Amino acid sequence: MKRCLKGQSGYRDYHKKKELLKVLIGAALIIIQLILREFAESTALKNTLTVMAILSVLPVANIAAPLLASFKYRSLSPMLEKKASAYEEKGVLLYDLIISSKEQLLPMDVILVMPGGRLCLLHC
């Protein structure tokens, strides 16, 4: 998996893969804790492993929630990236951003930041 930074083309797909890997590893660790609980002989150890598994769910859910919300948005196609690159001399191009608020997610494929702080959404 090639590393992408925010604002680079292909970041959405890279971020989804990275976060999905984190969720899968977390889920596997939770399952391992629950399986180890079955092999534990003392009640105290069983209770400890159960509490560990329950507490492990919270961080995994915090990673999974934004992943599920943004899962339907794909990265920009290379053809559209070439069209947008014609505007590079006018300012800084940012690709594959998702702006979120409490009500909705706004996928922004290409944003041009012009001198003076003006933002332009490019539709290619």
With respect to residue 1, please indicate whether it lies within any of the assigned structural domains: no
With respect to residue 6, please indicate whether it lies within any of the assigned structural domains: no
With respect to residue 4, please indicate whether it lies within any of the assigned structural domains: no
Q: Which residues contact 37 (CB under 8 A, 6 or more apart)?
A: 46, 49, 50, 53
Residue 34 belongs to domain spanning = 11-69
pLDDT attached to residue 8: 82
With respect to residue 2, please indicate whether it lies within any of the assigned structural domains: no
With respect to residue 89, please indicate whether it lies within any of the assigned structural domains: yes
Q: Which residues contact 100 (CB under 8 A, 6 or more apart)?
A: 69, 106
Block means of pLDDT (10 residues each) for the chain, 124 residues, are 79 90 95 92 91 93 89 83 82 83 83 80 60
pLDDT attached to residue 123: 58
54/33 same-domain check: yes
46/85 same-domain check: no
Q: Quote the number of domains for the chain.
A: 2
pLDDT attached to residue 17: 92
pLDDT attached to residue 115: 84
With respect to residue 46, please indicate whether it lies within any of the assigned structural domains: yes
63/94 same-domain check: no
88/115 same-domain check: yes
